[in-house]
């Protein structure tokens, strides 16, 4: 029997009892409405659902249960309307209880079923739909690499209003790079119109100061990092000289129009990142770009944003005639080290510290 194992969940065939449990547990989230609206169906209908699944399983559909690692069934995910001629299908998913939504289980389930669809079934294109008001589904699809392709206007009637349906699609070659999923890393570049907003040092100072302090902490010495962040931050904030030591050079560098000093936001205005890159070199014989700070908001990490921003800085450096682009990090900042390594940065300097008692 098929079992697709993830980290916190696995996908497996839905037995009759699982279908019944999903029907019993199902809660409709009126704050995040999804289609179809199965309101008012009795649990007995779950048997019918079970038979419907069996009828289509393996030809038109592949529907699997989403199970927690302890075996509790919490939802279902499916590749449906499988079209073997055109190698396409659509994805559908449901999590029965509201408490199991927005916990990352859906994202894992989508990844597992996408891997199965692209790698095992040889799909070339997988599509998904969601209502315009279902923001969490949109976020989850986008994080999985889906590209917004279209909008069916005012197509669904619900709660006295009409809503648009958003159509998403993901192609195999966007999903697979050298056999490895690149969905995390292409999503924002492909389909999210991120807004690059030039920093307003006065208006944005609290935000960028906080980001800068966090970056400093991540890159600081092992000795400094023995202090918990809150204490480290309090010390940093209490030191006006240190704050000035950050803000003044930033403001100074912003007089140079090559400088990237930006806050990155989504189209809807959510803050995603802070990024500062300065340019150096007196004459044109040796210009270099320096990534001073890169800070990605936690909820947007591991989605390829840093990859995207570093690529953007590199392009800008090339356009401005820079010979090299430099960046630095701390020995304990494994994530940042991974990022630089992946992007082809060469480590050219080592710094040492010996803690003395």
Ligand X SMILES: CC(C)(COP(=O)(O)OP(=O)(O)OC[C@H]1O[C@@H](n2cnc3c(N)ncnc32)[C@H](O)[C@@H]1OP(=O)(O)O)[C@@H](O)C(=O)NCCC(=O)NCCS
Interface residues with ligand X (CB under 6 A) are 184-185, 214-215, 218-219, 294-296, 301-307, 329, 333-336, 338-339, 342
Among 88, 85, 96, 74, smallest CA distance to 8 is for 74
* C-alpha to C-alpha distance for 195 and 92, rounded to whole angstroms: 30
The residue (of 261 and 305) whose beta carbon lies closer to ligand X is 305
Least distance in angstroms from the C-beta of 313 to ligand X = 12
The residue (of 98 and 147) whose beta carbon lies closer to ligand X is 147
Least distance in angstroms from the C-beta of 277 to ligand X = 12
The residue (of 87 and 225) whose beta carbon lies closer to ligand X is 225
The answer to whether 22 and 73 have CB atoms below 8 angstroms apart is yes
| DSSP state at residue 116 | I
The residue (of 114 and 296) whose beta carbon lies closer to ligand X is 296
Least distance in angstroms from the C-beta of 305 to ligand X = 4
* C-alpha to C-alpha distance for 149 and 168, rounded to whole angstroms: 5
Q: What number of other Cβ atoms are within 10 A of residue 268's Cβ?
A: 7
Beta bridge partners of 126: 89, 170
Least distance in angstroms from the C-beta of 134 to ligand X = 24
* C-alpha to C-alpha distance for 174 and 186, rounded to whole angstroms: 8
The residue (of 155 and 189) whose beta carbon lies closer to ligand X is 189
Name the phi and psi angles at 152, rounded to 5.
-95, 115
* C-alpha to C-alpha distance for 191 and 146, rounded to whole angstroms: 8
Least distance in angstroms from the C-beta of 100 to ligand X = 24
* C-alpha to C-alpha distance for 62 and 244, rounded to whole angstroms: 59
The residue (of 281 and 328) whose beta carbon lies closer to ligand X is 328
């Amino acid at each position: 029997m098929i079992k697709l194992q993830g980290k916190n969940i696995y996908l497996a065939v839905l037995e009759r009892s699982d279908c019944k449990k999903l029907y019993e547990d199902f809660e409709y989230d009126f704050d995040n409405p999804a289609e179809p609206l199965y309101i008012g169906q009795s649990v007995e209908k779950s048997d019918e659902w079970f038979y419907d699944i069996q009828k289509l399983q393996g030809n038109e559909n592949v529907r699997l249960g989403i199970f927690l690692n302890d075996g509790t069934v919490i939802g279902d995910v499916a590749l449906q309307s499988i079209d073997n001629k055109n190698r396409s299908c659509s994805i559908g998913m449901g999590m029965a209880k509201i408490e199991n939504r927005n916990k990352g289980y859906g994202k894992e389930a989508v990844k597992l079923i996408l891997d199965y669809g692209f790698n095992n079934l040889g799909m070339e294109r997988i599509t998904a739909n969601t209502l315009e008001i279902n923001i969490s589904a949109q976020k989850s699809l986008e994080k999985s690499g889906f590209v917004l392709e279209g909008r069916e206007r005012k197509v669904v009637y619900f709660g006295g209003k009409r809503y648009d349906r958003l159509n998403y699609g993901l192609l195999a070659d966007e999903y697979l790079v050298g056999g490895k999923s690149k969905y995390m890393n292409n999503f924002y570049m492909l389909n999210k119109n991120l807004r690059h907003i030039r920093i307003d040092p006065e208006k944005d100072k609290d935000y960028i100061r906080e980001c800068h302090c966090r970056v400093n902490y991540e890159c600081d010495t092992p000795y400094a990092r023995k202090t918990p962040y809150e204490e480290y931050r309090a010390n940093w904030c209490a030191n006006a000289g240190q704050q000035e030591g950050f803000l003044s050079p930033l403001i100074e560098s912003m007089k140079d129009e090559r400088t990237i000093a930006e806050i990155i936001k989504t189209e809807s205005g959510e803050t995603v990142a802070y990024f500062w890159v300065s340019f150096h070199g007196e004459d044109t014989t040796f210009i270099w770009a320096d990534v001073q700070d890169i800070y990605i908001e936690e909820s947007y990490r591991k989605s390829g944003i840093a990859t995207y921003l570093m690529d953007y800085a590199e392009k800008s450096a090339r356009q401005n005639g820079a010979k090299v682009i430099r960046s630095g990090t701390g020995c304990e900042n494994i994530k940042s080290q991974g990022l630089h390594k992946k992007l082809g940065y060469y480590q050219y300097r080592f710094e040492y510290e010996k803690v003395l008692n």
